[in-house]
């Protein structure tokens, strides 16, 4: 165990790792508090999406991803950790505590840590080249290591059925959801904005409008944003958990980031196609092909593409407590 307390630079390293995690519309719905060398992860209710994420499921997934990223930050300092989920029943938004332990860190985490800065949500077109089967197995392994299942949907009729659900959910989306999203998405590039998805990160529109890439600015005119053809048959995977409790949302978040940074290591990019998961009836349909696996938590589009710019991150001073 590290006998000396963490230095300010080491704490900064861990926090920068944690805040690199993905979140819906890049809302970054978390805040952190130090207790000695242990890091607390809290959901920030002020950054919630009451319409698009009414039960907070995706906010919890984001905080789970931040917890996993923090684990990588500790490992980069040669510190092993233990993650305790929902440590205080009296504080339901206090969702994880990452403790330093005597154990050595997972030796695989060092490589994953160095992949964090390159991870992006890529909303551009991917190449038609299929992902090698061995790399897909690495992604499945990453999900299994965190107690989840990554179901790569390849065979018909399941593949076309999932595409149909994604397209149906897009068509059923209510205008009030688009209005809420507009507050976070597509703002002109401005150096003072440190959250949300800026215009430069939206990617082009799909020419036929029927792809798996979610158009976060559908129905809006974003200057300079063009249209292009996307890959004809993207790789689609569903991240599933054994149930649908708050703890399992946090587990899903940890698995999600482990899958994403593992993919980054092998040149695989991802974007999200979670539209059907926002509709309770369609969410059940997404998982109905594989009930024995569990509950669908995220739908991923995977492939190889060109480099895309990062989305902004809030200053560390804005995300670190104490709060009361």
- Residue given tokens 């130090």 in the structure block: 34
CB within 8 Å of 168: residues ≥ 6 apart: 276, 282
Q: Would the pLDDT of 33 be above 80?
A: yes
| pTM over the 0.85 mark | yes
Q: Model confidence over 93-102: pLDDT tens digits?
A: 999 999 999 9
In order of their start, the domains of the chain are: 8-118 (3.40.109.10), 133-303 (3.40.109.10)
From residue 220, alpha-carbon distances to 11, 177, 187, 217, 229 in Å are 41, 13, 11, 6, 19
Nearest Cα residue to 62 out of 106, 31, 97 = 31
Say what the pLDDT of residue 237 is: 96
Say what the pLDDT of residue 129 is: 93
Token pair in block for residue 214: 């979610």
Say what the pLDDT of residue 2 is: 55
Lowest mean pLDDT among 49-58, 204-213, 295-304: 204-213
Say what the pLDDT of residue 292 is: 53
Say what the pLDDT of residue 194 is: 92
Q: Would the pLDDT of 54 be above 90?
A: yes
In the structure, what pLDDT confidence band is assigned to residue 13 with cuts at 50, 70 and 90? very high
Mean of the per-residue pLDDT values for the chain? 92
- Show the beta-strand stretches assigned E in 229-305: 235-241, 269-272, 295-303
Q: Are strands 269-272 and 295-303 parallel, antiparallel or unpaired?
A: antiparallel
Say what the pLDDT of residue 213 is: 80
Q: Would the pLDDT of 210 be above 70?
A: no
Say what the pLDDT of residue 189 is: 58
The number of angstroms, rounded, from the C-alpha of 317 to the middle of its chain's C-alpha atoms is 22
Of 18 and 204, more confident: 18
Q: Would the pLDDT of 125 be above 60?
A: yes
Q: Model confidence over 289-300: pLDDT tens digits?
A: 655 568 999 999
Q: Would the pLDDT of 86 be above 80?
A: yes
Report the C-alpha gap between 74 and 13 in whole angstroms.
8
Say what the pLDDT of residue 192 is: 76
Total Cβ atoms within 10 A of residue 244 = 16
> Is 140 within 8 Å of 238 (Cβ atoms)?
no
Find the mean pLDDT for residues 263-291: 87
Q: Would the pLDDT of 209 be above 70?
A: no
Token pair in block for residue 261: 């940074």
Report the C-alpha gap between 268 and 304 in whole angstroms.
5
Q: Would the pLDDT of 186 be above 90?
A: no
Q: Model confidence over 218-271: pLDDT tens digits?
A: 878 888 888 898 998 999 999 999 999 999 999 999 999 999 999 999 999 999
Q: Would the pLDDT of 214 be above 60?
A: yes
């Amino acid at each position: 165990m590290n006998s000396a307390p963490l230095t300010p630079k080491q704490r900064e390293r861990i926090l920068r790792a944690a805040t690199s995690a993905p979140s819906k519309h890049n809302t970054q719905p978390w805040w952190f508090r130090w207790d000695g060398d242990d890091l607390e992860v809290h959901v920030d209710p002020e950054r919630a999406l009451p319409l698009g994420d009414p039960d907070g499921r995706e906010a919890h997934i984001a905080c789970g991803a931040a917890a996993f990223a923090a684990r990588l930050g500790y490992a980069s300092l040669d510190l092993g950790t233990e993650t305790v989920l929902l440590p205080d029943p009296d504080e339901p938004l206090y969702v994880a505590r990452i403790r330093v332990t005597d154990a050595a860190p997972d030796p695989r985490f060092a490589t994953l840590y160095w992949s964090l800065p390159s991870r992006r949500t890529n909303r551009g077109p991917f190449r038609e080249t299929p992902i090698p089967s061995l790399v897909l197995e690495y992604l499945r392994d990453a999900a299994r290591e965190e107690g989840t299942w990554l179901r790569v949907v390849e065979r018909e009729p399941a593949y076309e059925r999932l595409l149909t659900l994604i397209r149906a959910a897009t068509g059923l989306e209510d205008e009030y959801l688009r209005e809420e999203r507009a507050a976070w998405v597509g703002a002109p590039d401005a150096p003072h904005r440190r959250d949300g998805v800026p215009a430069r990160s939206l990617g082009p529109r799909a020419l036929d409008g029927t792809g798996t890439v979610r158009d976060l600015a559908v129905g809006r005119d974003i200057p300079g944003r063009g249209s292009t053809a996307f890959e004809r048959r993207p790789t689609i995977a569903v991240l599933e958990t054994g149930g649908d409790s708050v703890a399992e949302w946090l587990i899903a978040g940890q698995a999600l980031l482990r899958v994403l940074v593992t993919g980054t290591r092998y040149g695989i990019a991802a974007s999200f196609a979670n539209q059907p998961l926002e509709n309770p009836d369609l969410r059940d349909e997404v998982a109905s092909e594989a009930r024995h696996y569990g509950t669908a938590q995220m739908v991923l589009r995977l492939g190889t593409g060109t480099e895309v710019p990062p989305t902004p991150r809030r200053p560390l001073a804005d995300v670190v407590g104490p709060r009361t």
